[in-house]
């Protein structure tokens, strides 16, 4: 049986004047492969070529990385704003819209959920510690990337609840930005105890889920996170079969 192709977005890393290339953490492609998908890292290209790359994929995972440029949602930069990659923002915002219009199954992770929200008209907290009173620490330090550090409450009858079958799970946390104004059409499906939005989904779509944590780095130890990737692969396989039949 043919495996569904899962495209994984990447950034560009410059090591020195002789070395520059596409980069995405290895946990992404390992989790997709473990779930039965065929992982393909998508390099940053022109928006036109990137749309063609998405068309070749059966599902997409928008990965983590740099902060999203606040100009993308009409805000001025905050003093605590981290590193930016405006070209990546521009390409991925358009890519999210194209993937949704093409009804491609989509899993947006950390920065990915933020790009998803901005692409559909939402905004972000640029820095939780200074902009969100009462925010708990969301950038874990001194522990492994895949170690859980706080709870997340899952909304019943959401797609996430259907996957996890739990009202509460434990997640890792590697972000200082988060969703502020949720875009029209997106539904909040998980929050942390301090009220920070941890997941959203787009009803009516084949599979469009965004999570603020990094499930790809937890699949080695947490069976629930494996289920999330299995659902992405399963929905992508369904779409592949439907296209082959038609």
Tokens representing 67 are 């902060």
Q: 158, 192, 200, 154: which is closest to 175 by C-alpha?
A: 192
DSSP letter at 139 equals B
SS3 of residue 12 by DSSP: strand
Q: Which residues are catalytic?
A: 110, 214, 216
Tokens representing 72 are 């993308």
Asked if 201 and 209 touch (Cβ cutoff 8 Å), the reply is: yes
Going by their DSSP bridges, the two strands 59-62 and 106-109 should be labelled as parallel
Residue 19's alpha-carbon distances to 13, 22, 45, 64, in angstroms, are 8, 10, 18, 22
């Amino acid at each position: 049986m043919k495996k569904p192709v899962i495209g994984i977005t990447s950034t560009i890393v410059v090591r020195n004047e002789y070395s520059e290339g596409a980069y995405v953490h290895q946990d992404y492609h390992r989790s997709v492969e473990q779930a039965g998908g065929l992982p393909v890292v998508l390099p940053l290209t022109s928006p036109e070529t990137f749309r063609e790359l998405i068309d070749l994929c059966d599902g997409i995972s928008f990965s983590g990385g740099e902060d999203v440029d606040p100009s993308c949602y009409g805000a001025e930069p905050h003093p605590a704003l981290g590193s930016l990659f405006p070209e990546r923002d521009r390409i991925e915002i358009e890519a999210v819209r194209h993937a949704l219009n093409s009804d491609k199954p989509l899993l947006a992770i950390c920065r990915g959920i933020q790009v998803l929200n901005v692409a559909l008209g939402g905004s972000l907290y640029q820095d939780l510690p200074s902009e969100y009173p009462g925010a708990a620490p969301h950038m874990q330090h001194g522990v492994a990337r895949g170690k859980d550090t706080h709870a997340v409450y899952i909304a019943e009858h959401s797609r996430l609840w259907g996957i996890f079958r739990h009202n509460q799970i434990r997640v890792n946390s590697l972000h200082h930005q988060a969703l502020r104004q949720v875009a029209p059409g997106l539904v909040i499906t998980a929050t942390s105890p301090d009220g920070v939005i941890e997941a959203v989904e787009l009803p009516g779509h084949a599979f469009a889920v965004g999570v603020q944590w990094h499930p790809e780095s937890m699949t080695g130890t947490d069976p629930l996170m494996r289920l999330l990737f299995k659902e992405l692969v399963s929905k992508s396989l369904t779409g592949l079969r439907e296209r082959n039949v038609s």
